[in-house]
Amino acid sequence: MSKTQNKPVILFSIIYSIILIFELIFDNTESLKYCHYLSKPLLVSSLIIFFLQHNRHKDTQTKQLVVSALIFSLLGDILLMFTEMNSLFFIGGLLSFLTAHVMYILVFLKKRNIAKKGLKFMLPLLVYTIGLFYLLKDGLGDLFIPVIIYMFVILIMVTTAFLREGSVSKNSYILVFLGAVFFITSDSLLALNKFYNPLPLSGIWIMTTYSIAQLLIVIGLKKQ
């Protein structure tokens, strides 16, 4: 990709990083907390605008799936901001992100390398998922089944990102796969913080890994 083609990506990445920095400041400063209700949704909203502006050449179905994934992510972000008011907001957020992952799975499967086998990759990932679930299970309560389903879906999402290798450009594959890994990292941190034991600076780590995940996936799909 030429330097000219890279300029929009670099410029947007800088703007996105600035929004993320402000979000982290607002969310962790009590006197500025109200600004968090604007800065957090602005992150994924900016990704939607960027994707639509720079992916007009993509087929309609791919664009619809990616935008749907981002819209459900945005909805999940908004719902999770109100979990302290009612636990139903967390359930709504969980369902929103589960739907977003399904949309990403469908996008990744469109460029699956049929010669590539995902079983060997899934086995260590499955071991990790089972280990994480073992830590969480006693604190899940009524969310036991929903969390199992969510963990299974995100495992599939990471695996389908892996299966794109060889059917897309190297840059696209690496960026999307790293994005998927950051996504599962963010979700793991969120789960550990909520259901196992509060983590130091959890909000910063969860939001940073999540924001990086979404950015890498969107840029990776742009380079597809």
Q: How far does Cα 214 stand from its chain's mean position?
A: 5
Number of folded domains that form the chain: 1
d(CA 116, CA 162): 9
Given pLDDT bands bounded at 50, 70 and 90, which one contains residue 122?
confident
d(CA 52, CA 16): 16
> What domain range includes position 164?
3-222
Given pLDDT bands bounded at 50, 70 and 90, which one contains residue 5?
low
Question: Over the chain, what is the mean pLDDT?
Answer: 94
pTM above 0.85, yes or no: yes
For residue 75, give the amino acid letter: L
In this prediction, residue 87 carries a pLDDT of 87
